[in-house]
Amino acid sequence: MQWDDSLVDRIVNAVMERLGQPAAQSGSGENLVTPDIRAGRVPVGVSARHCHLTPEHVEILFGAGTKLSVFKPLLQPGEFASEQQVTLVGPTGKTLGPVRVLGPERKASQVEISLTDCFALGLKRIPPIRPSGDHRDAPGITIVGPAGAVTLQTGLIRANRHVHLHLSQAEAMGLKDNDTVHVRIEGERPAVLLGVQVRAHKNFRAQLHLDTDDANAVGVKSGDLATLIKSL
Amino acid sequence: MQWDDSLVDRIVNAVMERLGQPAAQSGSGENLVTPDIRAGRVPVGVSARHCHLTPEHVEILFGAGTKLSVFKPLLQPGEFASEQQVTLVGPTGKTLGPVRVLGPERKASQVEISLTDCFALGLKRIPPIRPSGDHRDAPGITIVGPAGAVTLQTGLIRANRHVHLHLSQAEAMGLKDNDTVHVRIEGERPAVLLGVQVRAHKNFRAQLHLDTDDANAVGVKSGDLATLIKSL
């Protein structure tokens, strides 16, 4: 057996993949531009309701000194589902949970829910559809943890449809950061979802992020493939 | 005189309008072939989870001698939301309700839920997508009412996407019963829903029936307009 660098790379990538970590990017962009990517196909990642918290809010909700602990790494490098979970409380006392906290901690807390979740919570003000981190016109929400509660004044959003791509993957598809594409999904109830934001970055890996409303409408689950379409 | 396609279109439309008049006035005198219909636009009717019951099951669930009473007429002639509501019970005891009973009574009981509802009920066997009345491979479900419970052996389905059209409306669109079309819906999260069954009948009125997963994915509500597309 030949013991060379490309073999090491392949083994490391395979191990990292098993561990749930994306394969490390060794140099140019090899490996990430697969035949699927060349054909515009990306795996779906279904995002159920979740939240991001500041270090301060983590301590209020889970106790002084608490830091988020890893429950499961996510595909995007450095991101993880934490062991911590919270409950959301709507304006009439309706609750929704458990809601997974995603790590690492952020500079501003953010809660992402689906429209179905909005109805379940009895929200009078439906949060806007926003890219992560954009809290323009976003209402607040009360979050309850085992050690306390926080009422956000803003940060409640419905996540926009977006597709993460490594820069090399975007380039292979003729796309760039912040482009808009459509996405065709086959299955029992196929659909073309229009107006999907491209997010291309050197740290990203190809993954179409859909909320549970989009996912359940089409009947798609994480790992299924969707096809990017530049125009209808 | 220029003899071109747009002129042909105008003439055909004018003739169809004349011809469409009598057909559209089925009984009530209303003209069903409106400019919206000519443009392929139909109003959406969002169907939340609901059920249809046999007269026998109505009596078991609501008490001997009970008949469904009208809460609100639906757009399709003769159909109504009844005052009666039930609760569904999943295999692990999880419940979902209230679930509206639609009338009139039917020959076979049928429960229609969304995929999100399936998860909420903890179903191990996800019911198939079926047109109303088609219970092939459909599992059962337990229904509880104020006077008793019924466990169906079959009849639990996820409703297929379908659009009701009066025969004159279908004809004006160049469609016939059981054709398949796509549906484009604008809004905050626009989409083209693929594979929508046409149901054309002299008793029907134009209405696109979507379940709450499709409706919440797109952010559409009853009365909003959707556009039928014959091919992408």
Q: Dihedrals φ, ψ of A23, to 5°?
A: -60, 140
pTM (2 d.p.) = 0.85
Q: Nearest-5° angle of CA A113, CA A115, CA A116?
A: 95
Q: Which residues of B touch A219 (CB under 8 A)?
A: 115
Using a 10 angstrom Cβ sphere, with 0-12 exposed, 13-18 middle and 19 or more buried, the burial of residue A77 is middle
pLDDT per residue over B154-189, tens digit each? 999 999 999 999 999 999 999 999 999 999 999 889
Residue B35 CA neighbour count, 13 Å, CB half: 0
The verdict on B43 touching A (C-beta cutoff 8 Å) is no
Name residue, tokens 């803003």.
Answer: A154
Best residue of B130, B181, B212, B213 to probe chain A, by most A CBs closer than 10 Å? B213
Contact B115 A219 (CB under 8 A): yes
* Close Cβ partners of B36 (under 8 Å, ≥ 6 residues apart): B42, B225
The residue ranges of every structural domain in chain A are: 32-46+161-229, 49-158
Query: Taking a C-beta distance cutoff of 8 angstroms, is the pair B144, B86 a contact?
Result: yes
Q: Dihedrals φ, ψ of B31, to 5°?
A: -90, 110
The verdict on B231 touching A (C-beta cutoff 8 Å) is no
Query: Taking a C-beta distance cutoff of 8 angstroms, is the pair B33, B26 a contact?
Result: no
Which residue is closest to B188 within chain A, CA to CA?
A129
Q: For residue B194, name the pLDDT band (cuts at 50, 70, 90).
A: very high
- The residue among A159, A7, A232, A203 whose CA lies nearest residue B188 is A159
User: Over its length of 232 residues, how does chain A's per-residue pLDDT go in tens digits?
Assistant: 444 555 555 555 555 554 544 444 444 445 899 999 999 999 999 999 999 999 999 999 999 999 999 999 999 999 999 999 999 999 999 999 999 999 999 999 999 999 999 999 999 999 999 999 999 999 999 999 999 999 999 999 999 999 999 999 999 999 999 999 999 999 889 999 999 999 999 999 999 999 999 999 999 999 999 999 998 8
In chain A, residues 196-215 whose CB comes closer than 8 Å to chain B: 212-214
Q: Which residues of B touch A192 (CB under 8 A)?
A: 191-192, 194, 232
Torsion-angle region of A101 (φ positive above 0: left; ψ -120 to 50: alpha; else: beta): beta
Contact A217 B213 (CB under 8 A): yes
Question: Whole-angstrom Cα distance, residue A159 to residue A132?
Answer: 7
Task: State how far Cα A94 lies from the chain centre.
Answer: 25
Contact A189 B195 (CB under 8 A): yes
The verdict on A46 touching B (C-beta cutoff 8 Å) is no
Q: Which residues of A touch B161 (CB under 8 A)?
A: 189
Residue B4 CA neighbour count, 13 Å, CB half: 3
The verdict on A161 touching B (C-beta cutoff 8 Å) is yes
* Close Cβ partners of B139 (under 8 Å, ≥ 6 residues apart): B123, B125, B127, B154, B156
Across the interface, which of B129, B188, B192 has its CB nearest the CB of A189? B129
pLDDT per residue over B63-112, tens digit each? 999 999 999 999 999 999 999 999 999 999 999 999 999 999 999 999 99
Using a 10 angstrom Cβ sphere, with 0-12 exposed, 13-18 middle and 19 or more buried, the burial of residue B17 is middle
Contact B190 A195 (CB under 8 A): yes
Which CATH class name applies to B32-46+161-229?
mainly beta
Question: Whole-angstrom Cα distance, residue B16 to residue A205?
Answer: 54
At residue B1, the pLDDT reads: 43
Q: Dihedrals φ, ψ of B194, to 5°?
A: -95, 150
Q: Which residues of A touch B232 (CB under 8 A)?
A: 192, 232
